[in-house]
Amino acid sequence: MTEQGFSLKSIQAWKQGLVVLVLLLVFDLASFASNQSSPSPKFGQNIWTNAVAMILFYIIVNSLVSLASEKPIEYVRNSIYTFLGICIIGGLMSWAISGQTIDEAGSFKWLFVVLSMGYLIFLSIISTMKFIVKLAQKQDSRLRGE
């Protein structure tokens, strides 16, 4: 937060990760409670789906916020560490609540791999976009004689 108001630059990766893990816990507990009232044979898959959805949510939000980061290398490093933490803690929470391993739940292992690759691609695209914009701004200022 700045004195003027809300700023994307103030959102750190670990804060995003914490929000995602809290949301995952809330969704998992809601799924658990609804399963207690009316048991579902796909309960384990629902819990793992919550984990994958929250990881995707983190990827989208983190990629957008990384556009406003002032120290991109440090931000990307912290973002990747947070992403790994979310994957590990989210997987452990899903396993603990559902009682199913990632192999027993279906094809969620591949979804984690696809999301990981997609996240790295998103970060690469964002970094490339920022580099090109900075280069264009330098060239524009040279042409104007500034």
Asked, for residue 1, whether it belongs to a domain, the answer is no
Asked, for residue 121, whether it belongs to a domain, the answer is yes
What is the torsional sign of CA 39, 43, 47, 53? Answer: negative
Asked, for residue 5, whether it belongs to a domain, the answer is no
Q: How many domains, in total, are found in the chain? A: 1
Asked, for residue 127, whether it belongs to a domain, the answer is yes
Asked, for residue 3, whether it belongs to a domain, the answer is no
Q: What is the pLDDT of residue 5?
A: 55
Give DSSP secondary structure letters for the chain. Answer: --SSS--GGG--HHHHHHHHHHHHHHHHHHHHHHHHHS--TTHHHHHHHHHHHHHHHHHHHHHHHGGG-SSHHHHHHHHHHHHHHHHHHHHHHHHHHH---TTTTSTHHHHHHHHHHHHHHHHHHHHHHHHHHHHHHHHHHHHHT-
Asked, for residue 4, whether it belongs to a domain, the answer is no
Domain coverage including residue 51: 12-144
> Percent of the chain, pLDDT > 90?
38
Residue 112, C-beta contacts closer than 8 angstroms, at least 6 positions apart: 52, 55, 87, 91, 102
pLDDT tens track for 116-146 = 999 999 999 998 998 999 999 999 998 888 6
pLDDT tens track for 22-45 = 888 888 888 888 777 777 778 888
Q: What is the pLDDT of residue 121?
A: 94
